């Protein structure tokens, strides 16, 4: 890394722009390369925020922020720190979805990401080295973009989700942005619109699957671990057929997790705990209906299942609490095309006199009277008034989480859920939702998005130099977050607000690090895990 003259101004990790002092300018060969006034970071942030405010629509605001990030990482995070609730939906979900859809049209910069092509496995290692550029990488977010949010296959465009997830890591938990690496695995795409787009920047062929794909993944993991042996590997938005397979292959040998499976399972269980805190009910008394039993849906089911077993239930007793509804309707043991993850949680037709009729959500809700309804189906508007009212008739405080992202795919809006249940529903939504005022009460809506938990979890693992992520650690992080709601306030949210993101991410990181050290899973010697988290924390100051 050259660190003088224009090369320092062009290095976003080192650049301070007009904040370089006169002495620094002399020392670094920058004299005369900048206007003469030396600014503080506060002055720079104020100026940048005014420019940000002048932009519209939100996608333009996002482009402005990305440009700022590409020029001066410290200033970007300093500003984000001041406006975290306002920036989250722009840097991350839902506006990240728009930038992914328009990636080729608005492309200006590779965003420090590594682009790995399935056609060139021989370049994996050199690519990772080129992009790391001598930096000590501690965290990698990788996507192959086969299942971007609920929008399907977006090929190389999906790299923006890896970039966005990493921005949330730093803003929420304080991981040093110079130690992170977004990775796009370009395995081709089955998105016809992209293949026909002359501007498409990725590999212009169909997605490669099967052996060749899994071999490529394996080569990537090997190279990643060789080059960055102390790093955490975070998988994001892989397709339903690969996500669990990949996780199962690596989870017992390296520090890794899948955000859609585990992060989502964690945030949903924390949200359920928050809801039960309010309703004063118990987890073991709930009946769970998961609508959309894919990557996220089954991650959620498995997380709750594990918690029920911890509460003393046998496997069979715990399984009996779940009902999965997917495209085929209620999933039975004789349903066709079941995934491996679904199989242990199917029902028997013998339980019902009308099993043939249970091929749609409404019929299933009317039959089984769920107390918890989770939406990870990608099907907008499917939690209809009739379904929600039916649920509210048989349950005093129905827990209803429409989690599909982005905004246009949500199963219901918070406002409708409050209205249809006369304020009784305990709600979390995938994207941020405004407060709902109904009959004089202002209901705050928790954001049931894995972004509320993965930054603390991941940072805690990095700070404690964890070798592995265990169920024990996952469970302690969930309880840390689930206990943070103020249950007695009327209209209380089931999860803490995003405005407190940095505060509770810190707490989750500490609990995670403590759990790692307690299990002896730290690589380096750590006497005080809380202090280790504190020491690893990066601050957006020059």
Ligand X SMILES: O=C(O)C[C@H](O)C(=O)O
Tell me which of 99, 377, 447, 449 binds ligand X, using CB under 6 A. Answer: 449
Q: How far apart are CA 520 and CA 510, in angstroms?
A: 15
> From the CB of residue 195, how many other CB atoms can be counted at a distance below 10 Å?
16
Is residue 405 near ligand X by the rule CB under 6 A?
A: yes
264 part of the interface to ligand NAD, by CB under 6 A? yes
What torsion do the CA atoms of 142, 145, 151, 152 make, to the nearest 10 degrees? -140
**Alpha-helical segments (H) within 20-83:** 22-27, 41-54, 58-71, 73-82
Looking at 236-244, 335-343, 406-414, 494-502, which segment touches Mn ion (CB under 5 A)? 236-244
Size of the residue set binding ligand NAD (CB under 6 A): 29
Residue 292 in the binding site for ligand NAD (CB under 6 A): yes
What's the closest the beta carbon of residue 428 comes to Mn ion, in angstroms? 16
- 1, with CB counted inside 10 A (0-12, 13-18, 19+), is exposed
Catalytic residue among 61, 165, 444, 507: 165
Task: State in angstroms the smallest separation of the CB of 372 from ligand NAD.
Answer: 15
3-class DSSP state for residue 229? coil
Footprint of ligand NAD on residues 469-528 (CB under 6 A)? none
Q: Which region among 106-114, 305-313, 316-324, 400-408 touches ligand NAD (by CB under 6 A)?
A: 400-408
Going from the C-alpha of 438 to that of each of 392, 418, 435, the distances in angstroms are 17, 8, 10
Smallest distance, Mn ion to C-beta of residue 102, A? 19
Binding of residue 307 to Mn ion (CB under 5 A) = no
Nearer Cβ to ligand NAD (20/401): 401
Strands 329-330 and 322-326: antiparallel
What is the distance between the alpha carbons of residues 460 and 188, in angstroms, rounded to a whole number? 34
In the sheet that 288-291 helps form, which strands lie side by side, from edge to edge? 329-330, 322-326, 288-291, 372-375, 399-402, 426-429, 446-447
Provide the annotated binding site.
236-237, 260, 405, 449
CB-CB neighbours of 472 under 10 Å:
14
Dihedral (CA of 12, 13, 18, 22) sign: negative
Distance CA 517, CA 515 (A): 5
Is 168 a binding residue for ligand NAD by CB under 6 A? The answer is no
Choose among 371, 144, 376, 374: nearest CA to 238: 144
Q: Report the residue from 146, 224, 260, 281 that binds Mn ion according to the rule CB under 5 A.
A: 260
186 scored as a contact of ligand X (CB under 6 A): no
Nearer of residues 155 and 448 to ligand NAD, judged by Cβ: 448
Which of 60-68, 137-145, 172-180, 399-407 is the region at the interface with ligand NAD (rule: CB under 6 A)?
399-407
Residue 404, interface with ligand NAD (CB under 6 A)? yes
Of 131-139, 222-230, 271-279, 321-329, which part binds ligand NAD (CB under 6 A)? Answer: 321-329
Query: Do 178 and 1 meet the contact criterion of CB atoms below 8 Å apart?
Result: no
Cα 49 to the chain's mean position, in Å?
26
Tell me the closest approach of the beta carbon of residue 236 to ligand X, in angstroms.
6
What would the DSSP string read from start to end of 110-136? -TT-EEEETT-GGGHHHHHHHHHTT--
Nearer to Mn ion, 74 or 184 (CB): 184
CB of residue 163 vs ligand NAD: minimum separation in angstroms? 17
Among Mn ion, ligand NAD, ligand X, none, partner that 448 touches (CB below 5 to 8 angstroms by kind): ligand NAD
Active site annotation includes 165: yes
Q: Check binding of 159 to ligand X (CB under 6 A).
A: no
Choose, by CB under 5 A, the member of 160, 237, 411, 510 that binds Mn ion: 237
User: Hey, which residues between 434 and 453 contact ligand NAD (CB under 6 A)?
Assistant: 448-450
Looking at residue 466, the DSSP 8-state letter turns out to be B
Which of 92, 103, 250, 443 is flagged as catalytic?
92
CB 18 within 8 A of CB 44: yes
Judged by DSSP in three states, 398 sits in coil
Which of 153, 160, 186, 237 is the binder for ligand X (CB under 6 A)? 237
Cis peptide before 226 (omega within 30 of 0): no
**Which residue, 300 or 521, is less far from Mn ion as judged by CB?**
300
- φ, ψ (nearest 5 deg) of residue 496: -65, 155
The question of whether 6 is a catalytic residue gets the answer: no
**Shortest distance (Å) from residue 160 CB to Mn ion:** 12
Query: In the complex with ligand NAD, which residue's Cβ is closer, 92 or 216?
Result: 92
Whole-number Å distance between alpha carbons of 124 and 122: 6
Annotated binding site for a divalent metal cation: 236-237, 260
Among 192, 327, 408, 523, binds ligand NAD (CB under 6 A): 327
Contact residues toward Mn ion (CB under 5 A) are: 237, 260
What amino acid positions are annotated as catalytic residues?
Answer: 92, 165
Contact residues toward ligand NAD (CB under 6 A) are: 147, 149-150, 240, 260, 264, 267, 291-297, 325-327, 376-379, 403-405, 409, 430, 448-450
């Amino acid at each position: 890394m050259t660190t003088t003259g224009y090369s320092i101004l062009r290095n976003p990790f080192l650049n301070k722009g007009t904040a370089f002092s006169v002495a620094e300018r002399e020392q670094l060969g920058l004299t005369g390369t900048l206007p003469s006034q030396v600014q503080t970071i506060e002055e720079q942030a104020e100026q940048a925020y005014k420019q940000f405010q002048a932009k519209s629509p939100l996608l333009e605001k996002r482009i402005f922020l990305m440009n700022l990030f590409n020029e001066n990482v410290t200033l970007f995070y300093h500003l984000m720190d001041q406006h975290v609730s306002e920036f989250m939906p722009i840097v991350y979900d839902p506006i990240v979805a728009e930038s992914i859809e328009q990636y080729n049209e608005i492309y200006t910069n590779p965003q420090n990401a590594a682009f790995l092509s399935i056609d060139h496995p021989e370049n994996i290692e050199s690519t990772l080295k080129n992009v790391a550029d001598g930096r000590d990488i501690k965290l990698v977010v990788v996507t192959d973009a086969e299942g971007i949010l609920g929008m399907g296959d977006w090929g190389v465009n999906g790299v923006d989700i890896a970039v966005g997830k990493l921005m949330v890591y730093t803003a929420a938990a304080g991981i040093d942005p110079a130690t992170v690496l977004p990775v796009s695995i370009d395995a081709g795409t089955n998105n016809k619109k992209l293949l026909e787009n002359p501007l498409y920047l990725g590999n212009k062929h169909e997605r490669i699957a099967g052996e060749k794909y899994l071999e490529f993944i394996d080569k990537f993991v090997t190279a990643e671990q060789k080059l960055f042996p102390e790093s955490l590997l975070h998988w994001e938005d892989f397709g339903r057929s690969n996500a669990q397979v990949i996780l199962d292959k690596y989870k017992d040998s390296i520090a890794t997790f899948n955000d859609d499976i585990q992060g989502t399972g964690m945030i949903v269980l924390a949200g359920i705990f928050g809801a039960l805190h309010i309703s004063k009910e118990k987890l073991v008394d709930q009946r769970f209906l998961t609508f959309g039993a894919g990557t996220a849906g089954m991650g959620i089911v498995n997380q709750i299942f594990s918690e029920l077993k911890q509460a003393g239930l046998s496997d069979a007793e715990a399984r009996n609490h779940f009902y999965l509804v997917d495209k085929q309707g209620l999933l039975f043991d004789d349903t066709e095309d079941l995934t491996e993850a679904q199989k242990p949680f199917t029902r028997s037709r013998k339980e019902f006199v009308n099993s043939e009729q249970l091929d749609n959500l409404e019929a299933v809700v009317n039959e089984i009277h769920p107390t918890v309804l989770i939406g990870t189906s990608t099907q907008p508007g499917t939690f209809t008034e009739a379904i929600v009212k039916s649920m509210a008739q048989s349950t005093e405080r129905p827990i209803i989480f429409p989690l599909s992202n982005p905004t246009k795919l949500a199963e219901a809006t918070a406002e409708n859920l409050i209205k249809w249940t006369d304020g009784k529903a305990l709600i979390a939504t995938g994207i941020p939702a405004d407060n709902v005022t109904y009959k004089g009460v202002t209901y705050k809506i928790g954001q049931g998005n894995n972004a509320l938990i993965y930054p603390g979890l991941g940072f805690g693992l990095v700070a404690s130099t964890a070798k592995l992520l265990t169920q024990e650690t996952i469970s302690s992080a969930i309880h840390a977050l689930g206990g943070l709601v103020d249950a007695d306030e009327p209209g209380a949210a089931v999860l803490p607000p995003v405005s407190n993101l940095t505060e509770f991410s810190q707490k989750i990181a500490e609990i995670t690090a403590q759990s790692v050290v307690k299990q002896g899973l730290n690589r380096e010697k750590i006497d005080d895990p809380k202090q280790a988290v504190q020491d690893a924390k990066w601050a957006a100051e020059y």
